[in-house]
Structure 1
Amino acid sequence: MVHLIALLIWSTITFYHSCNCEQEKSNDTIKYPTEYHLRAEEINLVTGIVKPFEVWYSEKLDRYRSDYFGGSCKEYYVSKAKKPYGILYTTHPIATMDLKNEIVCNKVKLKGSMENLLPDTENLEPNGETEYDGRKIQIWYGKTTVLGIVGGRVEETLWTYRLADGKDVPIRYESKKSKSWNGHIFKHTITNYYNFNSTVLLEDLTLSDDLDCTFDAKLGKNLKEDLQILHPDIPSHVNLGYTSYLQHHKKKYTESEHDFRKDIFSHNWRHIREHNLKNLSYKMAINEFSDRTDEELKYLTGTRAPHEKVEGTHPFPYTLEQVDALVEELPKELDLRLEGFIRPIKSQGHCGSCWAFSSTAAVEGAIAKSLGGKSFDLSEQSLVDCAWGYGNEGCNGGMLDTAFEYIAKNGIPTSEDYGTYEELDDYCELENVSSVHEIVGFTHVTPRSPNSLKVALNKYGPVAVAIHVNMNMKQYSSGIYYDPECQGQDINHGVTIVGYGVRDDQEYWIVRNSWGTDWGEGGYILMAADIDNCSILDYPYYAIV
């Protein structure tokens, strides 16, 4: 693959340098054939994925067909006479419970006229000529800037040759998409076209009679069902899937930003699908973060590791030998949610305040445990506003130990008394509240000791921990999470452990997050407990009340 990419880059450079750059630009425009059959392959220079495909297109018959990966995935479009829509049929394989492959066929209505299958030429202008394989080649180039939060640039280059009838046939198309603020290229593809043929027969565009396309998909009503029907390797399905995604999450973008977001969505959708097919211990799913890059989602992860080793105001009262003896008497499973000690899931929104949410949840649980289940909705906003003097920085992040230190010295009011959560840094209003809930102090549980953590959960309540989060966890949906790629990475997120259990001989922690109930298992994630998974055992703290 490395040699292939190197060859592609070299050949692209050769094209550019052989261009007659002094040639005067003409006012010519690209005119594609109205009937064509082409083979092609798209090479993604970022991921290394090569996608072969074959297309048949007939304006006369008002139909087209696309085959991907040697025909494993196919789509047929048939325009409906005198109707403002056409029918898109798609076929792709699925694996049954006994791992047998079956071909399924779906059909959906597509509004509007039939789309061309060749590269869009709207932003392309003549950019010189060259020769290739004995033919005169026209070069077309375009560069557009994307405004909005994503901020970026799209560069396109198309090479074509002209037929005797004046129609243009593509031989190569290059698209490069990058972020304007750091120049990072997040999508770079080269598509090579070959074996052009102007003869397209009706039989080439007709679906096999052996296939029963009885399911008429009504897309747009249920995103989860839509994505089960659609396939991320079929371009029209990506368009349909992203439209359903935008409707579900009530998102709107400018036209140029829409394409950027769709590319990110498509990449994440394919990654999620490939991961889930591996049948590992956890599943991922498309969620509200799936058309964002990992860099853009850094606001979700605002917890830093302590500057130095902090034991808390009170040392952990048990040695490892005592812990091993105590754990024999503990229940095999514990869920503090069932005890009534844990309040409903919250969302930190677009603010790096996870450190405040995880420490506050631990304090809420400790107080509820001490009061036999009576709980209070405590104010994360008060920490965001007031804990700056302890090394925390509001929505720009903070540390668990200093959050507990702040609460131990100043107390924490209820959200009702202090005010609602705002997702931003505001003035500290602690002096205006009527009362605060106090804690005696906090303790750092013995690091990397699962049994010590179990003892702490049973005796003292929820435990706030700092972990490393990557893009896989941001798209977690269910199962027991274990990802070797997050091992040994820097701490960046604060969460709260509220229990533990065993499933299929796999021990796990029940972890409360602060990304709302639509993420994970109702706002929770189960994390593998037999190792220091994502550094979950390095910085565990509980409140003493």
Structure 2
Amino acid sequence: MTVHSLMLRSYDVCKGPIIDFADEYYFEAEEINLISGVVKPFQVWYSAEQNKTRVDLYDGTVSRYYYGIGDESYAEYNGDDEADTLIYMINPVYNEELENVSETCNVDKDKVDDVEFLPRLSDFKYQGSYVLNGRDVQEWVKPSRNSGAQKFDEELVLYEDDGIAIPIRHTIKKFSRRDGSPKAHIVINYYNYNKNISIEDLELPKGAECDTFDYDFHKAIKFLHPTIPSDVESAFKKYKKHHNRKYNDEEHETRRDIFKANWEFVNEHNSKSLGYVLEVNKFADKRDDELSYLTGIRSFGDEPIKSHKGPKRPIKTHKGSDGSPIKTRGGPDGPIKRSPYTEEELPENFDLRILGVVSPVKDQSHCGSCWAFAAAATLEGAIAYSNGGRILDLSEQSLIDCAWDYDCRGCQGSAAINTVFEFVENYGIPTDDEYGPYLEEVN
């Protein structure tokens, strides 16, 4: 690089070109997740004069039409003081053979900062220019920002054509503020840019009949996509209402970003057909480290037991609500005993699912009681295997309440899973019907 070019680059950084995106455009693009390898193609049409945007995903399989308040059709929906945009959502409908048999159209109303799909260039700072594939391009960088436990970096590469900014690439990186590890690396490549569009491209398909989008969270999320910013806002709004979440202004953006990342993880997993599916549940706005307490097998050392008040409970025979003793499956005369086989005698693989003796999945909720659920599920399978396939619903709550002398700490976890089985071997375990329902806390 010559001294002249270095001086020019330095001058460019200080001055910066006065450019912006066009008032009307069409482009094709692909969003690449460099961590997961997932590629999402999309197309965008935009007109500032019409105050409309159209976004198509996967060659038009999914479409979104954004109509701002300038559109006369807004008047019939103008019952929400906060909303200023109509969002028409067209999604495919599949039959059981996964054949696309029809489309559904729903209309939502929301507050959208700008119906333009491209990022605001005013949020970025010009860094200079260089040559890319034989073309002079400009580098723009958004100042790093911190959101909760993550740091965000963004870069925009574009070229100028008669004062108009033409996007080439948008890179978004997220890092852990704790250890600097990458959390997300998204690259959006733009191509086939055209500054002239047909107004007909922004019109809804002929004959489209759209219903009001007033579904609850679990129904609504089936029609929404984490790739589309307005869909993320709509899904997160419904998620907060469904789970009664309230955040302050600073936390809201962090929780929304975590929600989006978890939602993307669920969708990408389910698209792989691995034999089981995930869903967006009440933990979708939490980081992994915030949920580590739910995996409650850990070492306690001399850590005080905060949730256990008073002296340790004496471990006695379980009693029912009327005070009478409950017969438990354990103790010296019960069916739960140590295996007579040595480790070498056991088969390398043994799948209880094939025998139909695996109990249904249960929800431990916000209590760190996975140790109790793991123990109960193991025992349910073992008992079912020994009694001809009849699955009993054993009481996790009884273990949470009573196994404290065996290094178990209720909702704070257990020091080792083998101590739970020692407790059951000595004192047994009742069913839910005998002991009572799961309470998500120490009773």
Coarse TM-score class (shorter-chain normalised): 0.5 to 0.7
User: Structure 1 length normalisation: TM-score?
Assistant: 0.55
User: Which of these residues, 430, 441, 459, is aligned with residue 426 of structure 2?
Assistant: 441
Q: Is the 8 A contact 2:88 2:108 kept in 1?
A: no
Q: Give me the whole-angstrom Cα distance separating, in 2, the residues matched to 1:513 and 1:237.
A: 36
Q: Find the counterpart in structure 2 of residue 193 from structure 1.
A: 190
User: Which of these residues, 144, 150, 154, is aligned with residue 152 of structure 1?
Assistant: 150
Instruction: Classify the secondary structure of the residue corresponding to 1:299.
Output: helix
Q: Give me the whole-angstrom Cα distance separating, in 1, the residues matched to 2:109 and 2:52.
A: 13
Shift of 1:27: 5.8
> What amino acid is aligned across from residue 371 of structure 2 in structure 1?
W
Shift of 1:257: 0.7
Q: Give me the whole-angstrom Cα distance separating, in 2, the residues matched to 1:101 and 1:120.
A: 36
User: Which of these residues, 395, 400, 421, is aligned with residue 380 of structure 1?
Assistant: 400
Deviations 1:464-494 (A, max 9, x none): xxxxxxxxxxxxxxxxxxxxxxxxxxxxxxx
User: Which of these residues, 67, 82, 98, is aligned with residue 56 of structure 2?
Assistant: 67
Q: Give me the whole-angstrom Cα distance separating, in 2, the residues matched to 1:233 and 1:103.
A: 22
Shift of 1:85: 3.1
Q: Is the 8 A contact 2:51 2:115 kept in 1?
A: no
User: 1:377/1:110 Cα in 2 relative to 1: closer, same or farther (>3 Å)?
Assistant: closer
Shift of 1:158: 0.6
Deviations 1:91-137 (A, max 9, x none): 23232135431231322232335421012446421212212345432
User: Which of these residues, 42, 45, 51, is aligned with residue 34 of structure 2?
Assistant: 45
Q: Give me the whole-angstrom Cα distance separating, in 2, the residues matched to 1:197 and 1:362.
A: 61
User: 1:73/1:348 Cα in 2 relative to 1: closer, same or farther (>3 Å)?
Assistant: closer
Deviations 1:137-190 (A, max 9, x none): 221112434343xx01000001122231x2322111100012111222221111
Q: Is the 8 A contact 1:404 1:442 kept in 2?
A: no
Q: Find the counterpart in structure 1 of residue 371 from structure 2.
A: 355
User: 1:119/1:258 Cα in 2 relative to 1: closer, same or farther (>3 Å)?
Assistant: farther
Q: Find the counterpart in structure 2 of residue 267 from structure 1.
A: 264
User: 1:379/1:122 Cα in 2 relative to 1: closer, same or farther (>3 Å)?
Assistant: farther
Q: Give me the whole-angstrom Cα distance separating, in 1, the residues matched to 2:21 and 2:54.
A: 17
Work out whether 1:88 is the aligned partner of 2:87: yes
Q: Give me the whole-angstrom Cα distance separating, in 1, the residues matched to 2:169 and 2:20.
A: 15
Work out whether 1:32 is the aligned partner of 2:21: yes
Q: Find the counterpart in structure 2 of residue 302 from structure 1.
A: 296
Q: Find the counterpart in structure 2 of residue 316 from structure 1.
A: 337
User: 1:45/1:300 Cα in 2 relative to 1: closer, same or farther (>3 Å)?
Assistant: same
Q: Give me the whole-angstrom Cα distance separating, in 2, the residues matched to 1:91 and 1:188.
A: 29
> What amino acid is aligned across from residue 185 of structure 1 in structure 2?
P
Work out whether 1:402 is the aligned partner of 2:419: yes
Percentage of pairs with the same residue: 27
Q: Give me the whole-angstrom Cα distance separating, in 1, the residues matched to 2:265 and 2:438.
A: 21
Q: How many residues are treated as equivalent by the alignment?
A: 357
User: Which of these residues, 188, 191, 212, is aligned with residue 208 of structure 2?
Assistant: 212
> What amino acid is aligned across from residue 140 of structure 1 in structure 2?
W
Work out whether 1:55 is the aligned partner of 2:44: yes
Structure 2 alignment gaps of length 5 or more? 1-5, 76-82, 300-329, 342-354, 384-392
Q: Find the counterpart in structure 1 of residue 315 from structure 2.
A: none
Q: Find the counterpart in structure 1 of residue 304 from structure 2.
A: none
Q: Give me the whole-angstrom Cα distance separating, in 1, the residues matched to 2:230 and 2:396.
A: 50
User: 1:163/1:378 Cα in 2 relative to 1: closer, same or farther (>3 Å)?
Assistant: same
> What amino acid is aligned across from residue 213 of structure 2 in structure 1?
A
Deviations 1:373-422 (A, max 9, x none): 9x997583676xx65xx6557726422333465x69xxxxxxxxxxxxxx
Q: Give me the whole-angstrom Cα distance separating, in 2, the residues matched to 1:141 and 1:163.
A: 20
Shift of 1:270: 1.4
RMSD (Å), alpha carbons: 4.3
Q: Give me the whole-angstrom Cα distance separating, in 1, the residues matched to 2:50 and 2:210.
A: 24
Work out whether 1:257 is the aligned partner of 2:273: no
Q: Give me the whole-angstrom Cα distance separating, in 2, the residues matched to 1:235 and 1:147.
A: 17
Q: Give me the whole-angstrom Cα distance separating, in 2, the residues matched to 1:160 and 1:216.
A: 39
Q: Is the 8 A contact 1:272 1:285 kept in 2?
A: no
> What amino acid is aligned across from residue 370 of structure 2 in structure 1?
C
